[in-house]
Amino acid sequence: MQQTVTFDLDRALAFAIPSRSARGRFVRLGPALDQVLAAHAYPPAIEALLAEALTLVALLGSTLKDPQGQLTIQTRTDRGAINLMVCDYRGGEVRGYIQYDADKLAGLPEKPTLFALFGEGYLAITFDLATTGERYQGIVPLDGATLAEAAQSYFIQSEQIPSLVRVGISRKDGHTIAGGLFLQHLPEGEVGRERLHTRLDHPEWEHVAALGETMGADELADPTLPLETLIWRLFNEEEDVRVLAETPLSRGCRCTGEYIAGVLSKFTVEERREMADENGLIQVDCAFCATKFPVPAEA
């Protein structure tokens, strides 16, 4: 009898290791990732970069306790092939896009380095909390080998929280699958213990990080491995590992014809006429989903 293979895709799963004062989460993206990439005819190098970025926003965004909160990562670049990259997460939905210089990209190797893509670039990570209106932003140089390394540097340098970030990507039969691991040492231990975030070399963290570093990129991007299995593979010898909340993930874009019409309605009729084409339509493009919205100027 042929065994049925079950695929674990488009979700995030959190866990905690209380005895090590550590927390973490795994994510894996499949159909949601394909939907984002299908909206753009990106070259392979750009697709791989966007897949990594979307995995990062899912990893970091799914840590938000505010259900209406938003996590955004955006690049600032100079002289690289990438002009702009923006990805965000809100309520389990991910979206993103990249603007690039095709001529510069054509002159790069098949698998260009991060420096070749971005030049003297920076990664901005922004947390927007809807319930309180607060915004937190950190900016780190894109001087590592991957976006995951840059994100890891953000938490170590800006937040001073020992962290480990890993991403794996695979592409097969026209489909892209990406998985990620995000591990952190808790900022504070139990009552009466030292503040752990003041020590990046804490022995408990070194133990957890060493285990996390054994997770292979192929395992992260293997849809036949449930996320619970990945947790067990890493931490089955720990005395207490708690699997916490899971978050379904999907491709999301908040642009709609009604929303765009509402934004344009704030302009005067004369201003809208200046924006319109010869048919009296204002053509609005959504960079995230590559959808065009023709809106009558006189509406």
Domain boundaries, the chain: 11-251, 257-296
Read off the pLDDT of residues 66-93 as tens digits, 9 standing for 90 and up: 888 999 999 988 788 999 999 999 999 9
What would the pLDDT profile of 4-23 be if each residue is shown by its tens digit? Answer: 667 999 999 999 999 899 99
Provide the pLDDT for residue 198: 44
Q: What is the pLDDT of residue 178?
A: 97
* pLDDT of 189: 45
**For residue 187, what pLDDT band results from cuts at 50, 70 and 90?**
low
- Identify the residue with better confidence: 156 or 139: 139
* Residue of 239, 259, 223, 184 lying closest to 23 (CA atoms): 184
**pLDDT single digits (tens) 252-282:** 877 776 777 777 778 888 878 888 888 888 7
Q: What pLDDT does 279 receive? A: 81
Q: Quickly tell me which residue has 């005819």 as its tokens.
A: 41
* Topology of the domain covering 11-251: Hsp33 domain (3.55.30)
**Can you list the positions of beta strands (E) in the chain?**
11-17, 22-29, 70-76, 82-90, 93-100, 122-128, 135-141, 163-172, 175-185, 242-248, 250-251, 281-286, 291-296
